[in-house]
Amino acid sequence: MQRKLIIIASLLISSFYSGVVHAQQTTKLAPDQNPRYLESEYKYVRNADTLNSLHGTTIQNTYKAYDWYEAKLVRRQQNREWRHQERLNGYYDSPSWGLYGGYSYPYSSFGYGWGNGYGNRWGGWGGRRWGGRASIGIGYGW
Amino acid sequence: MKLNKLLTVAAIAVSGMLIASCSRQVTRLSTDETIDISGNWNNSDSRMVAADLTDKILNANWINTHQEEHQGKKPVVIVGFVQNKSHEHIDAETFVKDVESAFIQTQKVRLVQGGKKREELRAEKADQQTNATVSSMKKFGLESGADYILQGSINSIVDAHKRQKVVYYQVNLELTNIQTNEVVWIGEKKIAKYVKN
């Protein structure tokens, strides 16, 4: 069975090759033209439509250049989104951090918060941020 | 009473000013004017590239050489694709169209349609085969074959540190003989910008 398959395949390949050769021999060549030009022509005729559809267009093959200032802005934006998401998840909504509430340190053993006299809807200035996340910096509220 | 009136007038004036200051303002500009806002690629860059490359391509030797080799016939050009390998989204059509327009206006070079527009033309021709009158029907196989293809690339180099940045763009257009693959013309335009945030 396998041998038959091999024979059929070799017959097909040889007939295709002989067809190509025959076609090349029967077509009149231009001076100095490569006699095997049809092999290339068959290859590209199949892809011509796809390639030519890009004519007159700009192929966007851009890269990301590192820009310190832009990276800083992106970082800020990401932090803002992250905090917004945390708020949506109720992370800041514990009763001790409610509007006008006093400040406390629900998670922290080293948290530090202050100034909640005009606290916002999720707590006062920075206390939670310092305590809960153990990050360095001064939180802010509005 | 008088004071009340004064206060009312003042309040209206202040609110009017506030509304006016918040409303959107649109000012028409000349397209030749250069206004750099972000430091990114903008219309001035595109205009500069178009002007420079149009001038170079129309005054280069390739047109005369072609005409000498082809009994005075004008070269036929098709526009291929431009690869944007820079760090920004740039559409080359804004300056390539200016080059194409110059080809037609100066009558030095003939231009043939390519890409999607050519597909549309062929589709229209196909439609005519069954719907148009025989005398007005356009035939297949009579298109002008291009002698040259115009291709291009856009590259950039960014050198940034903290709030300072130098951006360098290089736009290249090249014209290649379709029959021989010989590049007959290369034009380049370099633009450098210093941006401080």
pLDDT attached to residue A37? 94
pLDDT of res. A110: 44
> B135 to chain A, minimum CA–CA distance in Å?
30
Q: Is the dihedral of CA A38, A39, A43, A44 positive or negative?
A: negative
Separation between Cα atoms, residue B156 and residue B41, nearest integer Å: 11
Q: Are B96 and B82 in contact (CB under 8 A)?
A: yes
- Residue B139, chain A, CB below 8 Å: the answer is no
End-to-end CA distance of chain B: 53
Residues of chain A with Cβ-Cβ distance to B88 below 8 Å are 62
- Does the pLDDT value for residue A52 go beyond 80? yes
pLDDT at A61 over 80: yes
Residue whose token pair is 């990301």: A64
User: Span A70-85, mean pLDDT?
Assistant: 93
Task: Please tell me the predicted confidence (pLDDT) of residue A119.
Answer: 42
Distance of CA A39 to the CA centre of its chain: 39
Name the token pair of A138. 């001064």
- A100 three-state secondary structure: coil
Instruction: Tell me whether strands B110-112 and B148-161 are parallel, antiparallel or unpaired.
Output: unpaired
Tell me which residue in B79, B89, B119 faces A62 most closely, judged by beta carbons: B89
Q: Can you give the pTM of this predicted structure?
A: 0.70
Given a contact cutoff of 8 angstroms between Cβ atoms, the answer to whether B82 and B152 are in contact is: yes
B49/A contact by beta carbon, under 8 A: no
Give the A:B interface size as CB pairs under 8 Å. Answer: 75
What's the confidence (pLDDT) of residue B10?
79
What the block records as the tokens of B139 is: 């035939």
Chain A contacts of B95, Cβ < 8 Å? none
What's the confidence (pLDDT) of residue A113? 43
The rounded distance, in Å, linking the Cα atoms of B2 and A49 is: 82
Give the pair of three-digit tokens for residue B171.
């736009």
Question: How high is the pLDDT of residue B122?
Answer: 95
Q: Is the pLDDT of residue A130 over 60?
A: no
Predicted confidence at residue B4, as pLDDT, reads: 77
Question: Do the chains contact at A61 and B90, CB–CB below 8 Å?
Answer: no
Cα separation, B179 vs B147, in Å, equals 7
| Of B38 and A129, the one with more pLDDT | B38
Distance of residue A9 Cα from the nearest chain B Cα, in angstroms: 36
Contacts of B144 by beta carbon, 8 Å cutoff, 6+ apart: B76, B110, B112
Query: What percent of chain A stands above pLDDT 70?
Result: 45
Across A124-140, average pLDDT: 45
Taking chain B (197 residues) in consecutive chunks of 10 residues, what is each chunk's mean pLDDT? 74 70 88 93 96 97 97 97 96 96 96 95 96 96 97 96 94 97 98 94
More confident residue, B166 or A119: B166
Place of tokens 């067809």: A19
CA-nearest residue to A54 within chain B is B115
pLDDT exceeds 70 at position A95: no
Dihedral angle at the C-alpha atoms of A89, A94, A97, A102, nearest 10 degrees?
180
If you search the block for the tokens 């029907």, which residue do you land on?
B137
Please answer yes or no on whether A56 and B88 come within 8 Å at the CB atom. Answer: no
B154 with B171: CB under 8 angstroms?
A: yes
- Kindly identify which residue of chain A lies nearest to residue B168, measuring between CA atoms: A65
DSSP of B119-176, one letter per residue?
Answer: HHHHHHHHHHHHHS-TTTPPPTT-PPPPSEEEEEEEEEEEEEETTEEEEEEEEEEEEE
Which of A66-70, A90-94, A122-126, B97-101 bottoms out in mean pLDDT, i.e. has the lowest?
A: A122-126
Residue A87 CB neighbour total at 10 angstroms: 13
Candidates A55, A61, A68; nearest CB to B84: A61
Q: Please give the angle made by the CA atoms of A100, A105 and A110, to the nearest 5 degrees.
A: 145
